[in-house]
């Protein structure tokens, strides 16, 4: 048995204990995690500082360094997130259907954990805690595999959480970290179907697509974020400029940031007069089609065909002009990743057409795509943003980390 197989075996054993632990015990474990992360945050910050220094020396882009870095404020936010999960209703054991059949059998459907959830993610140490907290509250053991850039941060976070679990009377193996960040180990985890019930990749499009292609266990695809903002001919242009700036610039490295601007060609010049002063503050590079270049001149650069499908994660924006709403919808459905799409318009009927026709997990009218987030949607922390249409779509909170079983009460019936 390999080291990872043993880790899977221990996680599976822990999952059976956790699945019946009850809400009070799970909440006590989460509170212990919140306390240890607060009381020993200096250890976590020190480990993260080593990661950031190594990443900076390796030439990691500023936007990715921002994703990697922890601060006192960010740790406080992570701890607050854990406590928000404590306050959320526990979905486990909830019966959402119960009926009596003509033969007298009483058949119900009860919420249960998925079992063992494996999560492969990139250089975001906050995911280590966010994912563990949601898995614990929903009764799932988790195996976490982060990127090499955050390995010191992740090891320390896992160490602290495992100590808190033992303090609360639960197996430490309810949360475990794959300490080896090699591709070979990641590949082995993707095929650990004897122990892993579902695999969730979190990161860029390349990671997610690679995992979906290779994995031998069920995969929930999350986070592929080629998001669009469409400025309609009947838009409030000041509002549109503010929405675009927020969607692109407030945190460009995250999956709900806008990557492509679509603007109706008749109002392009008027819109750019409003939007450019805001984008210029962040030195946003604009990669434009021919019509947009004629308006922007040397403020833009010519777009390549690949720009229409790019998830930059940086201060770069693809810009394309369209004839009308229908062309915008067709372009989004052809090039979007099913994450978050927005229209800015004062026309009610155009807004409804956009909501109906755009194929995405979250579709906005006159609001920034940056709101696609479990906390903003009232779900608490999230495990990721699912871009699929199967078991879960959009922000994945506690309920999306559950399945169900049928429970049947009889009185001697036979068939």
Give the pTM: 0.83
pLDDT at 300: 94
pLDDT at 21: 95
pLDDT band, very low/low/confident/very high, at 308 (cuts 50, 70, 90): very high
Secondary structure E strands in 20-174: 95-100, 106-113, 116-121, 141-145
pLDDT above 80 for 379: no
pLDDT above 90 for 385: no
pLDDT at 60: 86
Average pLDDT of the residues of the chain: 93
> Could you tell me which of 265, 272, 276, 279 has the C-alpha nearest to residue 316?
279
Q: Which residue did the predictor score with more confidence, 390 or 404?
A: 404
Residue 403 in contact with residue 114, Cβ under 8 Å? yes
Q: Which residue did the predictor score with more confidence, 67 or 370?
A: 370
Which positions ≥6 away from 253 have C-beta within 8 Å?
63, 64, 66, 67, 313, 314
The angle subtended at Cα 114 by Cα 109 and Cα 118, nearest 5°, is 170
* pLDDT > 70 fraction of the chain, expressed in percent and rounded: 100
pLDDT above 80 for 284: yes
Helix (H, G, I), strand (E, B) or coil at 66: helix
* pLDDT > 90 fraction of the chain, expressed in percent and rounded: 81
Residue 303: DSSP 8-state = P
């Amino acid at each position: 048995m390999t080291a990872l197989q043993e880790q899977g075996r221990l996680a599976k054993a822990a999952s059976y204990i956790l699945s019946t632990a009850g809400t009070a015990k799970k909440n006590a474990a989460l509170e212990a995690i919140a306390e240890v992360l607060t009381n020993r945050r200096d250890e976590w910050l020190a480990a993260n500082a080593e990661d950031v220094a190594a990443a900076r020396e390796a030439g990691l882009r500023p936007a990715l360094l921002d994703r990697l870095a922890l601060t006192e404020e960010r740790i406080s936010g992570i701890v607050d997130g854990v406590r928000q999960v404590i306050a959320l209703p526990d979905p486990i054991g909830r019966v959402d259907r119960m009926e009596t059949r003509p033969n007298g059998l009483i058949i119900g459907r009860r919420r249960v954990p998925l079992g063992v959830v494996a999560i492969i993610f990139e250089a975001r140490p906050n995911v280590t805690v966010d994912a563990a907290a949601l898995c614990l509250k929903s009764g799932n053991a988790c195996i976490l595999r982060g990127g090499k850039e955050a390995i010191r941060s992740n090891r320390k976070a896992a160490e602290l959480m495992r100590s808190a679990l033992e303090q609360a009377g639960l197996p430490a193996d309810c949360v475990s970290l794959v300490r080896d960040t090699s591709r070979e180990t990641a590949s082995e985890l993707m095929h650990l179907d004897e122990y892993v019930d579902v695999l969730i990749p979190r990161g860029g499009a390349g990671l997610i697509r690679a995992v979906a292609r290779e994995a031998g266990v069920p995969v929930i695809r999350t986070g592929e974020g080629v998001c669009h903002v469409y400025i309609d001919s009947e838009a409030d242009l000041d509002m549109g400029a503010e929405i675009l700036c927020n969607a692109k610039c407030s945190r460009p490295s995250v999956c709900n940031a806008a990557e492509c601007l679509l603007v109706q060609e008749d109002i392009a010049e008027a819109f750019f007069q409003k939007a450019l002063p805001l984008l210029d503050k962040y030195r946003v590079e604009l990669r434009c089609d021919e019509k947009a270049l004629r308006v922007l001149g040397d403020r833009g650069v010519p777009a390549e065909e690949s720009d229409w499908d790019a998830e930059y994660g940086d201060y770069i924006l693809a810009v394309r002009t369209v004839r009308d709403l229908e062309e915008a919808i067709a372009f989004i459905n052809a090039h979007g990743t099913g994450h978050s799409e927005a229209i800015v318009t004062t026309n009610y009927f155009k807004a409804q057409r956009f909501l109906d026709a755009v194929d995405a997990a979250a579709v906005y009218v006159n609001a920034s795509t940056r709101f696609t987030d479990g906390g903003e949607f009232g779900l608490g922390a999230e495990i990721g943003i699912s871009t699929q249409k199967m078991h879960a779509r959009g922000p994945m909170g506690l309920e999306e980390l559950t399945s169900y079983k049928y429970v049947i009460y009889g009185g001697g019936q036979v068939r």
